[in-house]
A and B are shown apart, each in its own frame.
Chain A
Amino acid sequence: GNSVTQMEGPVTLSEEAFLTINCTYTATGYPSLFWYVQYPGEGLQLLLKATKADDKGSNKGFEATYRKETTSFHLEKGSVQVSDSAVYFCALRDYGGSQGNLIFGKGTKLSVKP
């Protein structure tokens, strides 16, 4: 079945450091891939998405490229800020399967220190 694996946290970085959060997936079809962000005390909100191979999603300085050959969708940002401190979830969505087709990773907590 479909699954998502993302790197475990917590991840602690200094301001202006480079960020990578790894995400790999297993899917039988051609899923769409998403990154969601959850700021403290809030619900999840969509950060970016990619719907087919080689698509690059980007938003707020974050980027992720849909790599079918490595089944990966790693999240990157060149220079993190304190305000980026949050929990980040990788997710995939496909036709068929259970859970309404949507699978989440377990989340990676990012803390950015000034």
Chain B
Amino acid sequence: EAQVTQNPRYLITVTGKKLTVTCSQNMNHEYMSWYRQDPGLGLRQIYYSMNVEVTDKGDVPEGYKVSRKEKRNFPLILESPSPNQTSLYFCASSFPQPNSPLHFGNGTRLTVT
């Protein structure tokens, strides 16, 4: 089944403790992206990747890192999480053409205390 898989679904952590949210897709998509969703702010893009070893900042990259060493994986790294990074995170992937829709994972709800 074609899908984008994020793990974990829920995560509670403390300020400053490094964490990684994994994202994997099995559709051979070149494009992958991370979003955060907060009430009243819609979806905001954190980072995106047009292909392996090619990543770029979105609207809200501060406090996050990503890597794209393989086509299927695009982990999101929070080196020193802070409470303002408490949010719902989505990974998405697609082919790069404009007529290609994004496929989304089911989300990771992160709470930083």
Cα distance A3–B42 in the bound complex, in angstroms: 14
Q: Are A44 and B45 in contact (CB under 8 A)?
A: no
Q: SS class of chain A's interface: helix, strand, loop or mixed?
A: mixed
Q: Are A94 and B98 in contact (CB under 8 A)?
A: yes
Q: How many A-B residue pairs have CB under 8 A?
A: 60
Q: Are A32 and B106 in contact (CB under 8 A)?
A: no
Q: Are A106 and B99 in contact (CB under 8 A)?
A: no
Q: Which of A31, A44, A49, A51 has the most CB of B within 10 A?
A: A44
Return the contact of B104 from the options A43, A51, A107 (Cβ within 8 A).
Answer: A43
Q: Are A100 and B31 in contact (CB under 8 A)?
A: yes
Q: Are A95 and B101 in contact (CB under 8 A)?
A: no
- Nearest first, the 6 A-B pairs at minimum CB distance are A106-B42, A43-B104, A100-B48, A51-B99, A46-B101, A93-B98
A-B contact pairs, 15 of them (CB 8 A): A32-B99, A34-B101, A36-B102, A42-B107, A44-B43, A93-B99, A94-B98, A98-B58, A99-B48, A99-B59, A100-B33, A100-B96, A104-B42, A107-B42, A107-B43
Q: Which residues of A contact B (CB under 8 A)?
A: 31-32, 34, 36, 42-46, 49, 51, 89, 93-95, 98-102, 104-107
